[in-house]
A = this chain, B = another copy of it.
């Protein structure tokens, strides 16, 4: 066993294939994952490079700075996550109120199934980066605004059909997003998704 030196890669002797889109996607994948799990400042580019199997040159080619990488994660991944888990389901729901209820329960069920709580992707980055850099802040604020507007628009659509006449759409949207964000914050800190359901019950008393 002592004679064994590092096994050379006999297969694939220096045959490179340029795949810029795939490489960019892989970097974004591990960056999104690491930023959520460890945070922006606690994630080193060295770790990301190792996890993605990417060299420094390639990383620098696609994302000149760490900030540029984070901005891409925010605008492409975090915004996408909010769209996927909140905006689309609410739009597709029979009503705003029903959509909100469904999302709360879906997320709570998912968290309980996976056994741990990583928190809301948007809120996680918003807390760490909003005060650090104004470009970060604006990008994150835009996602919050789109989230709220989607809920408010749905509520307005409900009102077009005569329902929910006593409810202020923007107020309902703000309250919903705030409650969800705060509940996720508590769930993350307690590592228990139960508070999500508790807050949903409270919200339904409206």
Most chain B CB within a 10 A radius of its CB, from A42, A127, A171, A177? A127
Which residues of B have CB within 8 Å of A137? 189, 191
Q: How far is the CA of A199 from the CA of B203 in the complex (A)?
A: 12
B189 touching A179, Cβ below 8 Å: no
Q: How far is the CA of A137 from the CA of B174 in the complex (A)?
A: 28
- How large, as a class, is the contact surface on chain A? 35 or more
- Given A131-B38, A137-B191: A183 and B182 interface contact (C-beta under 8 Å): yes
Which residues of B have CB within 8 Å of A118? 131
A127 touching B128, Cβ below 8 Å: yes
A132 interface hit (Cβ, 8 Å): yes
- Given A131-B37, A174-B183: A126 and B42 interface contact (C-beta under 8 Å): no
Which residues of B have CB within 8 Å of A26? none
Most chain B CB within a 10 A radius of its CB, from A168, A183, A202? A202
Q: How far is the CA of A42 from the CA of B191 in the complex (A)?
A: 25
Chain A interface, DSSP helix/strand/loop, else mixed: helix
Taking a contact as CB atoms closer than 8 A, the residue among B37, B131, B175, B183 that contacts A188 in the complex is B131
A149 interface hit (Cβ, 8 Å): no
Known: A41-B41, A174-B202. 20 other contacts (CB 8 A): A38-B132, A39-B132, A123-B182, A123-B185, A126-B185, A127-B185, A137-B191, A141-B191, A144-B186, A144-B189, A171-B202, A174-B183, A175-B179, A178-B180, A178-B185, A178-B199, A181-B181, A181-B186, A182-B183, A185-B185
Question: CB within 8 Å of B: which residues of A?
Answer: 37-39, 41-42, 118-119, 123-124, 126-128, 130-132, 137, 140-141, 144-145, 168, 170-172, 174-175, 177-183, 185-186, 188-191, 195, 198-199, 201-203, 205-206
